[in-house]
Structure 1
Amino acid sequence: MHFLGDRLEFPPVEMANDDGLLAVGGDLAPERLLLAYKSGIFPWFNDDALMLWWSPDPRMVLFPEEIKVSKSMRKVIRDKQFRLTQNTCFAEVLDQCAKVERKGQEGTWITPKMKASYTELHNKGFAKSYEVWEDGNLVGGLYGVDLGHVFCGESMFSLKPNASKFAFISLAMECIEKGYELIDCQVHTEHLESLGATLIPRSEFMKILKS
């Protein structure tokens, strides 16, 4: 495991341990965050005093054209139950994602410093949010970092059934339209798998990321 100093650099992802932990320390400057995503690395921790950087192998990704849309979700889309917007309330999406209780986790990795850093990335045009509305209320959404050919998904939330699915499917459809190669989902969850995401070797992920 590598300990980061003040220099803006990361070790090769191949140095990560079996759990995917690559490095400890550094800071959350927008420049470091952006370098991390471009290098196949992401931050994940619940204490600003101990910053952890990860690059798991295998990697959970969605090839946009492989998105799975169930019959029930097709009906939700057809009936126009939800309305989608982008980048209209980035801070609120972060706040809602931070409140989500997740199985096997205590607290949240979306710490105040993380919020501030991703907000800076958002102001620079790299971090983006997708918001889902029902009857004028924010009921779901997601956010992530847009690298131009890969969208690095960070977190999603849902206050109504199917709201986060609607956000994710909408993201995938837009990625198909724009010719994005994949959506980085980072680690496996059954929810993401049900939507078509799959595990691929980190080496394959890095080839696509660097293409």
Structure 2
Amino acid sequence: MYFLDPNSYQFPDPRLANADDILAIGGDLSPKRLIHAYQHGIFPWFNEGDPIIWYSPAWRMVLDPRHYKPSKSLQQLIKKNHFHITYNQHFKEVITQCKTISRNDGLGTWITDDMLQSYLKLHQLGHAKSVEVWQENKLVGGLYGVDLGHIFCGESMFSHVSNASKIAFNWLNNYLITKKYDLLDCQVHNSHLESLGAYEIPREEFLHILHKKKN
């Protein structure tokens, strides 16, 4: 287990994560450290009151936007035009809903108060972005993540009405295709993401895609 030097933003090689996919503990959630982490395939994930834990999964849940195919029922719902989508205009509201909404899938419960404030700073710096779904002028769904330019690292989503988060996910995929992104990074496996078409790839493959445009 590697304990981060509070005076340095460097991380160990992400391939050194242990069997539980934990790479390091400690440090802080400053924008500089967070961006450095995401650029190396590392992300924070911990509960309120616990030390900051940094992960580098051996198997990464991802989606190639070009291979995403919405279900027929979702396509029909989109055609009915019941929802209005905005992009990156109400980030604070989206991350707050992701943090506080009650649900059974476990997503969102890990967004601590400190993490919320840190991602608000990332948003202000242009690194964290959101998709908002509206119905009758009410925010009913959305998602947010960290934008690396060729990979969008999805963090969390929420839905107050049926399929609202899927509408946001579908819009984001279309946006990523238009902007020629390589991947939507979903980080770790869960059945909801799998139902939307996400799949797992080895860490090494993910890191190759992550770094190829830097060289």
TM-score interval, normalised by the smaller of the two chains: over 0.9
In 2: Cα distance, 1:149 partner to 1:135 partner: 33
Q: Counterpart in 2 of 1:57?
A: 58
* 2:154 maps to amino acid: G
Please state whether the residue corresponding to 2:28 is helix, strand or coil. Answer: coil
Q: Counterpart in 2 of 1:146?
A: 147
In 2: Cα distance, 1:191 partner to 1:128 partner: 21
In 2: Cα distance, 1:33 partner to 1:59 partner: 18
* Cα deviations by residue, 1:51-75 (Å, 9 ceiling, x for unpaired): 0000111100000011120111001
* Cα deviations by residue, 1:7-62 (Å, 9 ceiling, x for unpaired): 11111111101121111000000000000100000000112550000011110000
CA shift, 1:120, in A, is 0.7
Under a length normalisation based on structure 1, what TM-score does the superposition of the two structures give?
0.96
In 1: Cα distance, 2:159 partner to 2:185 partner: 20
Q: 1:165 to 1:105 in 2, by over 3 A?
A: closer
Where does the alignment leave 5 or more consecutive residues of structure 2 unmatched? Answer: none
Q: Counterpart in 2 of 1:3?
A: 3
Q: How does 1:7-26 map to 2 (within 5 A)?
A: 7-26=8-27
Tell me the matched-pair count.
211
Q: How does 1:5-154 map to 2 (within 5 A)?
A: 5-6=5-6, 7-103=8-104, 105=106, 108-154=109-155
Residue 196 (str. 1) matches residue 203 (str. 2): no
CA shift, 1:101, in A, is 3.6
In 1: Cα distance, 2:191 partner to 2:56 partner: 20
In 2: Cα distance, 1:93 partner to 1:49 partner: 24
In 2: Cα distance, 1:204 partner to 1:186 partner: 13
In 2: Cα distance, 1:11 partner to 1:49 partner: 21
Where does the alignment leave 5 or more consecutive residues of structure 1 unmatched? Answer: none
Runs of 4+ aligned structure 1 residues displaced above 6 Å come to none
Under a length normalisation based on structure 2, what TM-score does the superposition of the two structures give?
0.94
Superposed CA RMSD: 1.5
Please state whether the residue corresponding to 1:26 is helix, strand or coil. Answer: coil
* 1:62 maps to amino acid: L
* 1:196 maps to amino acid: G
In 2: Cα distance, 1:107 partner to 1:91 partner: 14
Percent of aligned pairs sharing the same letter: 55
